[in-house]
Amino acid sequence: MIGNVSRLHTINRSSVVCSLKFKSSFHNLTTTTPPSPPPLEEDDAAGLCNLILKLDLQTLSENLETNSVCWTPDLVNKILKRLWNHGPKALEFFRLLERHPIYTHSTTSFDHAIDIAARLRDYKTVWTLVARMRKRRLGPNPKTFAIITERFVSAGKPDKAVRVFLSMHEHGCQQDLNSFNTFLDVLCKSKRAEMAYNLFKVLKRRFKADTISYNIIANGFCLIKRTPRALEVLREMVESGLEPTLKTYNIILNGYFKAGQIKEAWQFFLEMKRRKCVMDVVTYTTMVHGFGVSGEIQKARQVFDEMLETGILPSVATYTAFIQVLCKKDTVENAIVVFEEMLKKGYTPNSTTYSVLIRGLCHVGKMDNAMEYLDRMKQDECEPNVQIFNVIIRYYCDEGEIEKSLEVFERMGSGECLPNLDTYNILISAMFVRKRSDDLMVAGKLLIEMVDRGFVPRKFTFNRILNGLLLTGNQDFAQEILRAQSKCGRLPRHFRL
């Protein structure tokens, strides 16, 4: 928690769990003064991150100035990534370290801080950091502006993102074809393909659009299931004198599957064969996943076997796609067989592979097995991400295992994988299932913690908790929620407290 953890009604995750187990001593647990934290001595990102989370501003400042840690850009970047879902604390750490007598932030560290500030929609801080980068001759660079424009687009401000892209030169960063393509990709991946295409038509001659530019636009239309428009872009590419690449064909193939056009996808695949296109692992992975998701498991297996016969080795992504379709359309037991086969052949699963398998186990109610694979990830030196934790928490909540979901939530507090907005929303919703007064208190405390961490809850969430607290006679705590709502800049509903 940021600040004084002894503040009334504010708790850490341990207190949330303990509050459900020991309801009678709840308020004593939340007002106990924590022991003094140890000094920052270990050159270890996870350990340092955990300590930083526990320190208040003054203690953190003193430790950063006096500790013996050898700060490096790599270590700082790892800590900023781990603090990603606690934006205010991450920026606090970044600002304090700026005043360090020896250490100097790198361009990448500035980019991380800018990304975090933009996610918090603290645009004043974003542009202040950009100005500092320029003053120190560390940038900004095209990646910096890709981060800023992506955040504006995700915040529902694509027009602002366009203006930022067009004004890059005013900040000492000239636009080029690569930055143009990156910006088009940002728009397309946020399902704004039409906007990207219109910008593309206006600026394609200025930046001398290449095959990558056309591929990005085609993929944008495929993402919104408009394959005819993607094919039009393909024709425009040919008319402009550019040759489609294998990646172009893979994009169209994937587009057919995304739009549910299975017959068209198969015909397109056969056409690629007739034209003697040199297929790659991406082509076959697309086919395996596409057929599998549509429920044609035998067809997916057939394509997988064909890939092996042609001498193309499957990638981790291929195995992950196959495991996913088996979990969804076949049995999780068969998925585990393929997973173990993958390991025997020397492949190292990534977090996505584990994610689809854990989700499959959760879906069939095998929560203990899912937890075993979560532990196995650590043994394989594969860090669980927040999406994996959220899946497990959600399924525990759906089964009514609130206490177990909070125990998993507790595991996230080590600084290795902090909860995100979805985590809090899942748990808060679960607290209303049993309609207990103590559960509603926990929901309120979770809401205050998420606000402290820089997340902006929906107005519905605030009002739901306020109503619940008022109905259960917790007027004093409702006042605390109103203050949190005011902190978010949300206009509170009129309540008679």
Domains of the chain, residue spans: 40-139, 154-278, 394-497
| pLDDT at residue 183, as a whole number | 96
Crossing angle for the helix pair 211-223 and 193-207, nearest 10 degrees? 170
Measured CA to CA, the distance from residue 183 to residue 437 in angstroms comes to 49
| pLDDT at residue 5, as a whole number | 28
Peptide bond into 140 cis (omega under 30): yes
Amino acid letter, 3: G
Of the chain, the percentage scoring pLDDT greater than 90 comes to 64
Contact 382, 350 (CB under 8 A): yes
Task: Check pLDDT > 90 for residue 468.
Answer: no
Contact 333, 343 (CB under 8 A): no
Per the model's pLDDT, the better-predicted residue between 139 and 378 turns out to be 139
Which residues are CB-neighbours of 246 under 8 A, at least 6 positions away? 277, 278, 279, 280, 282, 283
* CA proximity to 115, closest of 89, 142, 80: 80
SS3 at position 352: helix
- pLDDT (average), residues 327-355: 93
Helix or strand (DSSP H, E) at 95:
helix 87-98
- pLDDT (average), residues 103-129: 95
| pLDDT at residue 497, as a whole number | 34
> Dihedral of CA 373/375/376/382: which sign?
positive
In tens, the pLDDT along 358-382 reads 999 999 999 999 999 999 988 888 8
| pLDDT at residue 414, as a whole number | 65
Task: Check pLDDT > 90 for residue 65.
Answer: no
Q: Angle CA(482)–CA(486)–CA(491) in degrees, nearest 5?
A: 95
Measured CA to CA, the distance from residue 461 to residue 488 in angstroms comes to 13
**Mean pLDDT over the full length of the chain:** 86
| pLDDT at residue 481, as a whole number | 81
Task: Check pLDDT > 60 for residue 169.
Answer: yes
Which residues are CB-neighbours of 97 under 8 A, at least 6 positions away? 64, 71, 76, 103, 105
Contact 157, 194 (CB under 8 A): no
Amino acid letter, 384: P
- pLDDT (average), residues 273-300: 92
pTM: 0.82
Burial degree of 457 (CB within 10 A; 0-12, 13-18, 19+): buried
What are the counts of helices (DSSP H) followed by strands (DSSP E) for the chain? 28, 0
**Radius of gyration for the chain, computed over Cα atoms and rounded to the nearest angstrom:** 26
Per the model's pLDDT, the better-predicted residue between 286 and 39 turns out to be 286
Measured CA to CA, the distance from residue 360 to residue 333 in angstroms comes to 10
Pick the CATH number of 154-278 from 1.10.20.140, 1.25.40.10, 3.40.50.2000, 3.40.50.300: 1.25.40.10
* CA proximity to 257, closest of 285, 215, 217, 298: 285
Measured CA to CA, the distance from residue 63 to residue 67 in angstroms comes to 5
Measured CA to CA, the distance from residue 335 to residue 383 in angstroms comes to 21
Per the model's pLDDT, the better-predicted residue between 494 and 247 turns out to be 247
Of the chain, the percentage scoring pLDDT greater than 70 comes to 88
| pLDDT at residue 31, as a whole number | 32
* CA proximity to 373, closest of 355, 386, 385, 390: 355
Per the model's pLDDT, the better-predicted residue between 482 and 364 turns out to be 364
Per the model's pLDDT, the better-predicted residue between 415 and 175 turns out to be 175
- pLDDT (average), residues 184-191: 96
- pLDDT (average), residues 248-268: 96
Question: What does the block give as tokens for 422?
Answer: 């979805």
Contact 476, 61 (CB under 8 A): no
Measured CA to CA, the distance from residue 126 to residue 94 in angstroms comes to 13
Instruction: Report the residue count for the chain.
Output: 497
Contact 349, 343 (CB under 8 A): yes
| pLDDT at residue 372, as a whole number | 94
SS3 at position 71: coil
| pLDDT at residue 416, as a whole number | 67
- pLDDT (average), residues 389-393: 96
In tens, the pLDDT along 219-235 reads 999 999 999 999 999 99
SS3 at position 493: coil
DSSP state of 242: P
Task: Check pLDDT > 70 for residue 35.
Answer: no
